[in-house]
Chains A and B, each alone.
Chain A
Amino acid sequence: MRPAFSVIFLTTLIGVGQGLFLALFTAQSYALFDLLPKQDDLNFYAHGSALALLFLCGGLVASFFHLGRPERAWRSATQWRTSWLSREVIVLPAFMGTVFLYGLAHLLDWKPVLATLPGGIAIDATVVLGGLGTLLAFALYLSTGMIYACLRFLREWHTPLTVINYVLLGGASGFTLAAGFAALAAPDLARFFAGWALIILLVGLVSRVASLLRNRRLKPKSTLQSAIGIKHPRIVQTTQGFMGGSFNTREFFHGRSRGLLRSIKWLFLAGVFVLPALLLTAGLSGAAGFLAAAFVVQYLGLIAERWFFFAEASHPQNLYYQSVA
């Protein structure tokens, strides 16, 4: 597939936003059980939510660049029964709204207690919003991941690992950002987030490498033989029906060399996992510089990862367009 930067930015940016929100609410949940110190509503939760929203909005804006007819984008919410894309379109604003309310509740200190857990733990509105947000964040990861994972012809994508990777890589980047953010806004949490970021990152590494290994072993299900229905070991296409290219030769192939693909792979493995892991470790002390660097490096790594994610996927339609197969 041809990596589309609008989609690369969409998925990576909202992944960060989702992860950051999850980190914020994780901290709140811990704090609820007194496992972590309580944080300042404004400085931490409200600003944190705003930061998450910033990334989510960035993703949303990027998504519009993917559309030929953005003015009709509203229509894309109608097919939620069948289309994961439609579901994403519904869940994303719902999630953004929830994050907004979550942040707003913290900002306004609007915390009516809605229930009390045994042990006297008060469930206030922010907790309910946070819980809802968490559900939506995961729903959004699921939707985004399933947009790709549900395409059975794109076998590199058609695996639960796709969804898992979206969750883990988004989560890792969000927690890394949270660590950096905390270093400024809530220094006593930086270490906590950095630790979780490292853990998610390591699990993510396992899962991402697993998908790489899986994809390397994939045997194409369709062949030129099944594509045109002729059984012969030697079939060569001599014409595609046009010579100046078409949508089919532009959309479904990265147009780069295998060497570049390989380089990008190592680049993202280093950028998403190795370097951020080192920087996060270094940042466990709470040094904001390392943590910020960890996020920046990881985000750039994620762009490479997402680029590779698209480029690696080999579309069976290319069998009909051997100039790009």
Chain B
Amino acid sequence: MTQLALVIDLNVCVGCQACVTNCKEWNTSGDAGPMVDQNPYGKDPTGTFFNRVQTFEVGEFPNTETVHFPKSCLHCEDPPCVPVCPTGASYKRKEDGIVLVDYDKCIGCKYCSWACPYGVREFDETQKVMKKCTLCVDRIYDPKMTAEERRPACVRACPTSARLFGDIHDPESEVSHAIREAGGYQLMPEWGTSPANHYLPRRKTKLRIREDELERADNPLKIDGQLPKPGMAEPSLDDVTSW
């Protein structure tokens, strides 16, 4: 059974927001669109986005880490938002594990959003239905697109390729390798929702220089420390001392 998911590498995410607006751009004119913007040019602009990048400061100066944290629907393997939906609009696809909303069935009761601990569903205030990340289901199977294009918009846009996409149930997939090898983890594991999306933690590269490695036999100071020899003709003590 396939479970498509995103694996987000916090080790390389620089918080540029490319995934945020590229998602909006693809989806507002796609199957999930339009995605409303309210007060787009006024006070407190607000709109429907499927993906947000947040920032956290971890630790205290000077040992501070600034963590950029992208967040979208995690496509839980046991999605709590699905069974609570009274109309079946919220559903999880058997064939690939994507959690979707059928906008034609949704009555806009928002109950699914209450049932999601991650805060990744957004109610569209003009169409009055619940919306969320679709993993670009209208891209990833589009036969008119090339294989490179058949990936979620956020994944393609990401300049640091911090977003990996694939089947986490296939142990040989890129995402499964990344999860295994880079310590991929799930958000709020305490709820047992088993989010399909995983996050890869920060990793540090350090350089240790042992004291005896600092100087090498070919240290240029051995050359440059040598000052020029005095000319042979210059006087010396040798010439004037007789005993």
Taking the nearest CB of chain B, how far is it from the CB of A206, in angstroms?
Answer: 28
Q: Residue A241 contacts which of B52, B109, B110 (CB distance < 8 angstroms)?
A: B52
A222 touches B188 (CB 8 A): yes
For B53, the chain A residues whose CB sits under 8 A away are 241
A229 touches B185 (CB 8 A): yes
For A77, the chain B residues whose CB sits under 8 A away are 86
A153 touches B86 (CB 8 A): no
Please name 7 pairs of A and B residues whose Cβ atoms are closer than 8 Å in the assembled complex, sorted by A: A67-B109, A69-B128, A85-B84, A228-B67, A236-B57, A239-B55, A244-B46
In the complex, A26 has a CB within 8 A of chain B = no
In the complex, A89 has a CB within 8 A of chain B = yes
* A66 CA to B201 CA, complexed, in Å: 40
Taking the nearest CB of chain B, how far is it from the CB of A241, in angstroms?
Answer: 3
Identify which of residues 82-108 in chain B touch chain A, using a CB-to-CB cut-off of 8 Å.
Answer: 82-89, 105-108
In the complex, A82 has a CB within 8 A of chain B = yes
B86 touches A79 (CB 8 A): yes
* A308 CA to B122 CA, complexed, in Å: 24
For A321, the chain B residues whose CB sits under 8 A away are 119
For A229, the chain B residues whose CB sits under 8 A away are 185-187, 199, 201
In the complex, A216 has a CB within 8 A of chain B = no
For A256, the chain B residues whose CB sits under 8 A away are none
In the complex, A43 has a CB within 8 A of chain B = no
Interface size on A, residues (CB 8 A): 57
Residues of B within 8 A of A (CB): 17, 20, 39, 43-49, 52-60, 65-67, 69, 71, 80, 82-89, 105-111, 113-119, 121-123, 125, 127-129, 185-191, 199, 201
For A222, the chain B residues whose CB sits under 8 A away are 117, 188, 190-191
For B55, the chain A residues whose CB sits under 8 A away are 237-239
For B188, the chain A residues whose CB sits under 8 A away are 222, 226-227, 316
* A229 CA to B107 CA, complexed, in Å: 34
B114 touches A154 (CB 8 A): yes
Taking the nearest CB of chain A, how far is it from the CB of B104, in angstroms?
Answer: 8
Taking the nearest CB of chain A, how far is it from the CB of B225, in angstroms?
Answer: 48
Contact with B along A71-82 (1 / 0, CB 8 A): 011011111001
For B54, the chain A residues whose CB sits under 8 A away are 237, 239-241, 320
B86 touches A89 (CB 8 A): yes
Q: Residue B108 contacts which of A67, A228, A241 (CB distance < 8 angstroms)?
A: A67
B128 touches A68 (CB 8 A): yes
Most buried by A among B49, B55, B58, B59: B58
Chain A: which residue is nearest B108 at the CB level? A68
For A69, the chain B residues whose CB sits under 8 A away are 106-108, 128-129
For A234, the chain B residues whose CB sits under 8 A away are 58-60
A317 touches B87 (CB 8 A): no
Chain A: which residue is nearest B131 at the CB level? A247
For A232, the chain B residues whose CB sits under 8 A away are 58-59, 65
Contact with B along A218-253 (1 / 0, CB 8 A): 000110101111101011111111111111100110
Identify which of residues 88-122 in chain A touch chain B, using a CB-to-CB cut-off of 8 Å.
Answer: 89
For B123, the chain A residues whose CB sits under 8 A away are 68, 247, 251
